[in-house]
């Protein structure tokens, strides 16, 4: 059954930095080739730096990273050009890159290509009712991610040990979800960039239609197959300012009110979009057809 076509594709070379919007991407088993290939590590704590750690790193989403060359299957991930929020530009392979990044963030950080074994971040929970099943409000807590999260849960990880991905290799959202959110609260800006998805599918059925795709497989273009694994729980990152997009807690309030879903039996979270694993790799381009099976 055809459900839509590819509206846009996104790749985020450095975790929590602004990303790229290419017309075509390559999928391997780890997701979009080159996605979240780099991240900052806080050298004092050993934790991965994330925009979820907004109290410690408030300007991450104002920084940008772009590949100097397009990542290619079978090749080493190429270096990126980093543009910081103050306009400073530095390449990832520059010998002084860590010093420049540390000076900007006023913390001792290093740019890394592999996640630590104990992949942990500091996650800020906004002061919103029903946002978190544990009841966290206006507080930062430690959160394991990547393969460390699944190891803690005692189950096999869909991610390799060195991945900077949060939970699953790929993420998908539909234009139906974005349009429905905009209808629910017209005065709030539900720009797709808030959600930092890999794949945006142009769809026509109304509402949160991808909620019904869990356990099914999306066939994109000629080669790629993505199996939907679970809804994508949303966090403080969706509310933060970036470029012309203002800070707005109503992003999460709207999801709390209209799309709280159970996540792996751990409670209900506000969700938008879905996570997926890659069943068949290959190339995907804008306007490719998407079928559901």
97-151 pLDDT tens trace: 999 999 999 999 999 999 999 999 999 999 999 999 999 999 999 999 999 999 9
- How confident is residue 265, by pLDDT bands cut at 50, 70 and 90? confident
Mean per-residue pLDDT, 154-172: 96
State pTM to two decimals. 0.95
Any idea what the CATH number is for the domain that residue 150 is in?
2.40.33.20
Query: Does 281 score more than 90 pLDDT?
Result: yes
**Which pLDDT does position 61 carry in this prediction?**
96
Name the strand (E) or helix (H) holding 150: helix 146-153
Query: Does 55 score more than 90 pLDDT?
Result: no
* CB environment 118-130: b (16+ within 10 A), e (fewer): ebbbbbbbbebee
Compute the chain's Rg from CA coordinates: 18
Q: CA 266: distance to chain centroid?
A: 21
Mean per-residue pLDDT, 165-183: 98
**Which pLDDT does position 136 carry in this prediction?**
94
**Which pLDDT does position 222 carry in this prediction?**
92
Instruction: Pick the closest to residue 47 from 147, 144, 160, 161 (CA basis).
Output: 144
Q: Which domain holds residue 102?
A: 2-292
Q: What whole-number distance in Å separates Cα of residue 291 and Cα of residue 271?
A: 23
Q: What whole-number distance in Å separates Cα of residue 185 and Cα of residue 153?
A: 36
Domain count, the chain: 1
Q: Which residue has the tokens 């002061």?
A: 127
Burial of 103 per CB tally in 10 Å (0-12, 13-18, 19+): middle
Indicate the DSSP class of residue 176.
H
Q: What whole-number distance in Å separates Cα of residue 17 and Cα of residue 60?
A: 6
**Which pLDDT does position 264 carry in this prediction?**
86
* Tokens describing residue 275: 């996570």
């Amino acid at each position: 059954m055809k459900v839509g076509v590819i509206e846009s594709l996104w790749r985020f070379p450095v975790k929590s930095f602004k990303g790229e919007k290419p017309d075509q991407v390559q999928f391997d088993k780890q997701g979009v080739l080159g996605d979240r290939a780099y991240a900052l590590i806080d050298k004092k704590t050993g934790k991965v730096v994330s925009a979820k750690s907004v109290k410690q790193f408030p300007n991450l989403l104002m920084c940008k990273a772009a590949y100097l060359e397009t990542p290619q299957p079978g090749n080493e991930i190429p270096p990126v050009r980093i543009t910081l929020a103050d306009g400073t530009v530095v390449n990832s392979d520059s010998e002084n890159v860590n010093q420049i990044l540390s000076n900007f963030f006023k913390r001792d950080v290093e740019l890394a290509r592999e996640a630590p074994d104990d992949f942990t971040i500091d996650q800020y929970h906004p002061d919103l009712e029903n946002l978190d099943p544990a009841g966290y409000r206006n507080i930062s807590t430690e959160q394991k991610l990547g393969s460390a999260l699944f190891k803690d849960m005692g189950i096999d990880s869909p991610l390799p040990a060195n991945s900077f991905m949060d939970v699953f290799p790929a993420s998908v959202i539909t234009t139906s979800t974005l349009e429905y959110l905009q209808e629910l609260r017209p005065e709030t800006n539900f720009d797709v960039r808030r959600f930092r998805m890999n794949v945006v599918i142009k769809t026509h059925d109304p509402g949160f239609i991808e909620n019904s795709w869990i356990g099914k497989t999306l066939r994109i273009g000629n080669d790629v197959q993505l199996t939907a694994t679970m809804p994508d729980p949303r966090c403080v990152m969706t509310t933060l300012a970036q470029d012309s997009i203002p800070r707005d807690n109503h992003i999460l309030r709207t999801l709390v009110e209209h799309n709280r879903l159970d996540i792996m039996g751990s409670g209900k979270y506000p969700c938008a979009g879905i996570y997926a694993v890659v069943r068949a790799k290959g190339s995907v381009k804008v306007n490719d057809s998407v079928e559901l099976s």
